[in-house]
Chains A and B, each alone.
Chain A
Amino acid sequence: MNLALISVELVACAWILVMLAADLIVPADRAGGPAARGGEEMPRAAERAAGRRSSFWLWALAGVGLCAAMLMGQTQTGTFQDMFLADGFSRYFKGLFLLTTASVIVMTREFGGLSGEDRPGAKARAPLGAFYMLLFTALLGMLTLASINDLLMLFIGLELLTFSLYVMAAYLKTDAKAVEAGMKYLILGSVSTGFLVYGIALLYGFAGSTSFPVLRQALETGPVPLTAQAGMLFVLAGLGFKLAAVPFHMWVPDVYEGAPTPVVALLSVGSKMAGAVAILRVLYGPFMPLAGIWAPVLAALSAATMLYGNLAAIPQRNIKRLLGYSSIGHAGYLLMGLSTGTRAGAEAVGYYLLAYLFSNLTVFLVVVTASEAVGGDMLDDYKGLSKRSGGLAAALFIGLLSLAGVPPLAGFVGKLFVLLAATSAGQLWLVAIGAVNVAISLYYYLMVVKRMYLDAPTTAAPIRLHPSTAAALLLLILGVFAVGILQEPFLTAIATAFAS
């Protein structure tokens, strides 16, 4: 047993416990909503200050944990008990998962409902330490998914991630929308888990093992019965839910609208990336012999996903819903890369995820920060944002354009590589649909830009940025430009990662 292989996961595990205990140690008014606090004698100002302090300590503690996990890194390669694979691929994606979680931690501080700030109409505050604990469980799930080498590990990783997200989505438990979001996510998620488990069972029945290498060998050698093929498709369906691909996308708009925004960011970037990583692992691992079956299925789903996501985003009035549909559209591009079944396609997906991570986290960080100041998540709330905070508006502009795929930003290169891989694989019709979708998506992204830059603001009050938010935004934007302009170093990293 070489524990160094799972060092990052161990740190994440440890921090789950630390954050759980932190709620007890850090002095905080965990009493809950304003009603509960009404009878207390502590003056409200002092109470608010105490709340801010405690939430700051929890925030810092979570940050420390994440830094520790990042410093641990994964230096060695090998398999842990045959179930857990530590290779270049997992290292690459673990880096991305840690980056995502770090951004979500920064966002959590900005998000009023969670940060311990009382605002007019604020919801009852839930214990913050437990929220960070769930963040670390979700992280653990994602980290595990990057290293799966067994169907059981796939299931465990996925459920760790998904269960954390169920709770996090409904974390503001007095907010009806958030509860609805959590409920919807739970029910639809359970159905997809059912698919996954059924698929795993069928595959186990066929191969007699859940291990990837054994499964692959069985699929390569023997005739593959219909049950095993169905099992594979069920597993893909379960993962398609994480990816938010059509037709497993129904949960997306409502959950995106209702859940706390940092959780949405985690859903949109981390969870989607985890889904893509798991699909990469299974498709290019055990399911490779069946490429003839899954490639056309994924190609068809890709076309449907892109068209549905981007067209349905057009009439949206709420920015979180809009981003939800846009994230469905992006799942379509990921599927396009996956459906090629080639190494180039897999690498393009790796690049696309990197670009998507930087662009989408930029967008969500702005949305979290701005929604507090502009008073809502409706698109019309963003009117005249450029006059109130040039930095925030510019960041959102850059993030959205990158999502749309405009050079010199990250999203452009990601899309280009995916389209190129699909062209090389001879799927010209899919490339054409993907290309047209760039123009469609540009339309609704520009509608947001139009409100920010062209329309007049309702109030002129400038928006101030917290240094941590400003620094995070700056880093993310630098990432967007770096991934968009200097492709070579990232490509090399991806090429080494995908060599295994």
Chain B
Amino acid sequence: MPLAPVLVTLLAPISAALILCFLKDAQQALVRRIAVAATALSLLGALQLIATYDVARAGYQHEVLVPWISGLGIGFHVGVDGISAVLALLHALCAFTGVLISYAIKERVREYYIFYLILIAGVFGVFLSLDLFFFYFFYEMAVIPMFPLIGIWGSDVKEKGAVRYSKEYATMKLTIYLTLGAVVALVGLLWLYVQSGANTFDIPALQRHFANTPLSPELQRWIFPLLAVGFGVIAPMWPLHSWSPIGHAAAPSAVSMLHAGVLMKLGSYAILRLAVGLLPDGAQYWMPWLASLVVMNILYGGFVAMSQRDLKLIIGYSSSSHMGYVLLGIACLTPLAVNGAVLLMFAHGLMTALAFAIVGQLYDQTHTRYLPDLGGLAHQAPFIAVCGVIAAMASSGLPGFANFVAELLVFLGGWDKYPVQTVCGVFGVVITAVYMLRVVRGTFFGPRKPAFNHVHDAGTLFDRLPYVVLILALLVAGSWPQPMLRLIDAGTRPLLQPFLGITP
């Protein structure tokens, strides 16, 4: 089946990147159109995946399997379940809007889109792969383009006019951290493969194999932390998070959107899919530790976000704080909380992408992200200001947005399992409200500043499109969460099967 929606979704950005390699630098308009077309195709593919996913049947669907290295049991196996379908949609939305936001990039446009499309394809690949080899393959493929993307088109993080983190430092730190995490996870994956004795890298096949002949709990306890910590780096799990806010802040806005919106979800997705899915006993053993660790994520990230003055750093620390909720939900290992965690990945991804798009739009014109310098921008850019307030409301978890539903589910699930950690976590919501309101006040409200009179709003329909798409998706998923939750449940239920009997 040559036109399977999974393949369309995955191959559209790859082919577009290949085509761009053969174009000339001067053909900027064409380059941009190809990128938009490719991500639009991916978005359609992702929508198609969700529309035709049979919730009643659950499990993996839309599978395409091409044997690749038969001797080692490696196959190009792609497909989706409820979890990856939702995350693929999230990524498609962020990628599409990100490409639109990238119209702000003016120099070395062709190279930019090549790297950006490779990044997009890599992330799609991780979400859609059902084979450990290709999972890792695409994972690394997603990490490496970040290096030139941040290094070339990013910006230094400044404080009071002085450089606090240069973009070179930020991008190198990000790449090395993520690669180190990836190789740690790789050791775990190889160990898992060898010990399984099933001679296959195929994830569903491994799950079936482990259902009959599980690995010894002893061994699972050894392998689980390798996967959880390795992939936890990108999640980003405290105390391995320090690359993340700096990386967000230094990246160009469209890359920050993908980075905070989707790339971080690769970590939590990998933990859920591989560490929890393949090593249930290991998960059972280590999850209380993880739950305590992520409280640090939530509170520490929140407090640090409160004390920042750079808009992107605030959102960056806020992201690492909010990813704590996601990991807390996963740590519960109950359907309620895990469903909430997956929905939160979706909601938080859209919200952060929206926030970074807004900051990017403002930064391109004001050339500052330093909070004390900003203010009164609602006068010059009312539409952006409205979007900013919406993003802040979504981030604080107001009812009506998907974030609210998702956080509620995580807390409800967490209360049963880890009451202490959950109570601590709930305080994170208060902290979020504090810094988000401060950002909104400091950026948009207050007296009109004449220095920003040149700032123009997102005026045309085309300019507004990315914001509208993201806000619409947030509102739809928030006010009508049932279909999406059913979809997620179809993915998490088979995954959590081993825990349902054991959990109290």
Contact = CB atoms under 8 A, between A and B. Distances in A.
A438 to B, nearest CB: 5
Contacts of B147: 446, 449
A163 interface: no
B172 A443 contact: yes
A379 to B, nearest CB: 14
Contacts of A435: 183-184, 186-187
A431 B71 contact: no
Contact of A431 (B70, B144, B168, B190): B190
A450 B193 contact: no
Interface stretch (B173-181, B345-353, B372-380, B424-432): B173-181
B68 interface: yes
Nearest to A492: B71
Interface stretch (B87-95, B134-142, B472-480): B134-142
Interface in A305-359: none
B187 A428 contact: yes
Interface in B114-143: 133, 136-138, 140-141
Contacts of A488: 68-70
B148 interface: yes
A368 interface: no
Contacts of A438: 179, 183
Nearest to B192: A423
B437 interface: no
B183 A449 contact: no
A412 B133 CA distance: 11
B168 A450 contact: yes
Given A406-B144, A442-B179, A454-B151, A419 B168 contact: no
A495 interface: yes
Contacts of B68: 487-488
B176 A439 contact: yes
A450 B172 contact: yes
B347 to A, nearest CB: 31
A419 B184 CA distance: 12
Interface string B145-175: 0011001100000000000000010001001
A442 B136 contact: no
B423 interface: no
Interface string B182-220: 011011001101100000000000000000000000000
Nearest to B185: A435
Interface string A396-436: 00000100001110001000100110011000100110011
Interface in A57-92: none
Contacts of A284: none
B72 interface: yes
A453 interface: yes
A491 interface: yes
Contacts of B176: 439, 442-443
A198 B261 CA distance: 64
A420 B193 contact: yes
Interface residues of A, number: 30
Given A420-B193, A449-B147, A450-B172, A495 B71 contact: yes
Main secondary structure of the interface of A (DSSP, over half): helix
A253 B325 CA distance: 50
B190 A423 contact: yes
Contact of B136 (A386, A407, A432): A407
A480 B140 CA distance: 17
Contacts of B111: 386, 390
B141 A407 contact: yes
Nearest to A488: B69
Nearest to A452: B148
Contacts of B193: 420, 423
B195 to A, nearest CB: 9
A245 B69 CA distance: 31
B69 A420 contact: no
A385 to B, nearest CB: 13
A217 B68 CA distance: 40
Given A420-B72, A491-B69, A495-B71, A450 B190 contact: no
Contacts of B184: 435
Nearest to A394: B21
Contacts of A428: 187, 191
Interface in A434-488: 435-436, 438-439, 442-443, 446, 449-450, 453-454, 487-488
A442 B186 CA distance: 16
Given A419-B190, A436-B183, A454-B168, 18 more contacts: A386-B111, A412-B137, A416-B133, A416-B186, A419-B186, A419-B187, A420-B190, A424-B194, A428-B187, A431-B190, A439-B176, A442-B179, A443-B172, A449-B147, A450-B168, A454-B148, A487-B69, A488-B68
Q: When A and B form their complex, which 10 residue pairs have the shortest distance between CB atoms, in order from nearest? A: A435-B183, A439-B180, A407-B137, A423-B190, A454-B151, A439-B179, A423-B194, A435-B187, A407-B140, A438-B183
11 contacts: A407-B136, A407-B137, A412-B140, A419-B186, A428-B187, A431-B187, A431-B190, A435-B187, A438-B183, A439-B180, A439-B183
Interface of B: 68-72, 111, 133, 136-138, 140-141, 144, 147-148, 151-152, 168, 172, 175-176, 179-180, 183-184, 186-187, 190-191, 193-194
